[in-house]
Structure 1
Amino acid sequence: MARRRLTLGDTLDVPRAEHAPAAPSPALSLSPSAPIARVAAEAAGAAALQELTETVARARDSGRMILDLPLDAIAPDHLARDRLPVEDAEMASLRESIRLHGQRTPIEVTPLVSEGRAGALPYGLISGWRRLAALKALHAEAGEPRFATVQALVRRPETAADAYVTMVEENEIRLGLSHYERARVAALATARGVFPTEDGALRALFATASRPKRSRIRAFLEIFHALDDTLRFPAHLPERLGLALVERLRAGEAPRIAAALAAADPATPEAELAALTALLAAPRPAPVTETLAPGLALETRLKGRTLTLRLQGEAVTPALAERIRALLAQL
């Protein structure tokens, strides 16, 4: 059979299947958004978001995240403050620093909502009273939004005692407390039931202090109890003058000291210190002598922790001495 030559323009009548490209098998077709891949991606994204949320929550709750809190969301009197609120050069300098550069160090707060107190603010202040007060003063003065919030770390102390320890340690590190402020916070925390005794408060709040230092703070407790309502600038009371004042208080001179300070009416720390110095430089009052009976006089002298009772006269006999010993034994 003769073969036919193909010329230009001829066509071949070949079955279509021989030339059409093979259609891909449905089983091998991969969609760009296959269900399994999409589900896996969504699950991974959700897990990552959950992990990030938990990490942020842990950082916030453990005090490793700085929050911007409204000023009126914080109760400044949550703890009895250790540092006495005074307007001094340091406070003015702090306000000016925040005005120019903003708040550089966060305060520390603790959540109060969990305490279930009616009308309680969301947070209670632990440390940073001066920074909070400076921001409040700046916001009241200028009304600028940048002063309407405070940078804060959220702490969760296990007990109220831990919160007091945190507050005291922060202030001791930053500026240091006066002996009067140390004694005052120990007394107020004990009065609030945080510590069972003032001695226990001193040991807990100033655990790293030496025994002599705690003894001196304990002496200033006597000044707090006797003259807290009288002294106007007690945080400025130096140690030596304070200890001399304690000796006079132990000698029963509290009423005389209070009256003298009221008469002096000091308007500045320097004026109050001058009045106290003059009081302590004055001669000690003479021992009190009174007649108890004919031929029997009693002289009383109180110096520090020593009470001296001296009986004189014809009525002083061995029998009287035995009676007095018996009476003292009943004490």
Structure 2
Amino acid sequence: MSKRRVFDIDFPETDTPAAAPPAEPVVEHRRGPMASAISENAAALEERKAVEASIRAENDRLAHEHVRLKKAGLITDLIPLTAIRADKLTRDRKPGRDEDLDELKASIRDVGLSNPIRIEQVGEGVYELVQGFRRLTAFQELYDETGDDAFARIPAGLIAHGEELELLYRRMVDENLVRRDISFAEMAELARGYVADPETSAQDSDEALTALFGSLSRQKRSYIKHFMVLLDAIGSHLKFPEAIPRALGLSLEKRLVSEPGLAAKVRSALAAAFVSTPDAELAVLREHATPAPLPKKPATAKPVGAAKTTFRQDVKGGTVRCAASEGRIEMRIARDFSNVDRHRLEDAVKAFFQELDG
């Protein structure tokens, strides 16, 4: 058996570090279907919450903006005529058809309604008119005449519900004052209705005039107050109070106040006249606005042959001018007789007549 020789091999010394142990293999954990579904659902919920929060914020902003615009009367909609009432406020226009309504209707037919009415929502689908009685009447007549659905709804500005009644009245008044054709009688009638309305705070005519016509001068408010007195006295018998001129109304009111029985006479005269036109009614009022002239005293007839004697007489104190007539004698001289003792004057008068009769 052969022997195998063993050789010693010397390796050079080196600083080579020992080889690092092999890294542990990365174990990839795979999620199950249920875990994946839960994770995806959670992410979707978060996204949905963010979207909902954004929508709520936008809705809140739009709601506040809507309320702001509504308070300013800038929200406009087409409102059915049948949904609008006009009985909350006492109107400052005499009931009856306006003579100028046909012109307004023609304008609406040609170019539409340029100035929407203003209404207040008082219930579900129910609105109360605040401004625009003539415009509403024009739309109603146009719809009745044509049956056109274009006139079945009217453009209306929606004002915030719950505004104070005083403010609603003032809105209506100011609109008509701008037109400058409202009469003193119509303004007086509105003020009377305002005082009578239990929902207003006015206790008398002065408070009503301040609340409704605060923008007018004190003089004009005084005129309205006089017309209120006039309407209190004879308003129930007037058919055309809006036609009464200012001067006539003031003159008639002055007589009604100073002559307590005159109101009944004027009412009787109006009832008996059966007036059908403003001019006829004004004629009746003018008859009672001016006091009847006082009868002239008959002139005293002078007796036939009556004469008057005049002459001048020089005396110690100067010249006396004398005038003598039936039952009368005058003597004038530049002298102050108030300083003369009364007894001396009596003696002088007695001596005068004694001399005449001697």
TM-score with structure 1 setting the length: 0.68
Compared CA separation, residues 214 and 54, structure 1 to 2 (3 A): closer
Compared CA separation, residues 247 and 140, structure 1 to 2 (3 A): same
Which of 173, 176, 183 is the equivalent residue of 1:168? 173
Which structure exhibits the higher relative contact order, with contacts defined as CA atoms closer than 8 Å and separated by 6 or more residues?
1
Compared CA separation, residues 226 and 146, structure 1 to 2 (3 A): same
Q: Which residue of 1 aligns with 2:138?
A: 134
Q: Which residue of 2 aligns with 1:144?
A: 148
Which of 253, 259, 266 is the equivalent residue of 2:268? 259
Q: Which amino acid aligns with 2:135?
A: R
Q: Deviations over 1:246-299 (max 9, x none)?
A: 12212231122122222222222222223323443571689xxxxxxxxxxxxx
Distance in 1 (alpha carbons) for counterparts of 2:294 and 2:93: 35
Q: Deviations over 1:6-30 (max 9, x none)?
A: xxxxxxxxxxxxxxxxxxxxxxxxx
Distance in 1 (alpha carbons) for counterparts of 2:167 and 2:66: 25
Q: Which residue of 2 aligns with 1:182?
A: 187
SS state at 2:78 partner: strand
Distance in 2 (alpha carbons) for counterparts of 1:254 and 1:183: 18
Q: Is the 8 A contact 1:135 1:148 kept in 2?
A: yes
1:89 aligns with 2:96: no
Distance in 1 (alpha carbons) for counterparts of 2:219 and 2:52: 65
Give 1:53 deviation, angstroms: 4.7
Compared CA separation, residues 217 and 61, structure 1 to 2 (3 A): closer
Structure 1 unaligned regions, length at least 5? 1-30, 115-120, 287-331
Q: Which residue of 2 aligns with 1:312?
A: none
Give 1:229 deviation, angstroms: 1.4
Q: Which amino acid aligns with 2:218?
A: R
Give 1:66 deviation, angstroms: 0.9
Q: Is the 8 A contact 1:84 1:181 kept in 2?
A: yes
Number of matched residues? 249
Which of 104-113 and 34-43 deviates more?
Answer: 34-43
Which of 279, 284, 287 is the equivalent residue of 1:275? 284
**RMSD (Å) for aligned C-alpha atoms:** 2.7
Compared CA separation, residues 46 and 206, structure 1 to 2 (3 A): closer
Distance in 1 (alpha carbons) for counterparts of 2:89 and 2:232: 19
Q: Is the 8 A contact 1:68 1:149 kept in 2?
A: yes
Give 1:144 deviation, angstroms: 0.8
Q: Which amino acid aligns with 1:71?
A: L
Compared CA separation, residues 37 and 201, structure 1 to 2 (3 A): same
TM-score with structure 2 setting the length: 0.63
Q: Which residue of 2 aligns with 1:205?
A: 212
Q: Is the 8 A contact 2:104 2:135 kept in 1?
A: yes
The percent identity for this pair of structures is 36
Q: Is the 8 A contact 2:79 2:153 kept in 1?
A: yes
Which of 41-50 and 200-209 deviates more?
Answer: 41-50
1:73 aligns with 2:87: no
Q: Deviations over 1:17-50 (max 9, x none)?
A: xxxxxxxxxxxxxx9xx84777656654564355
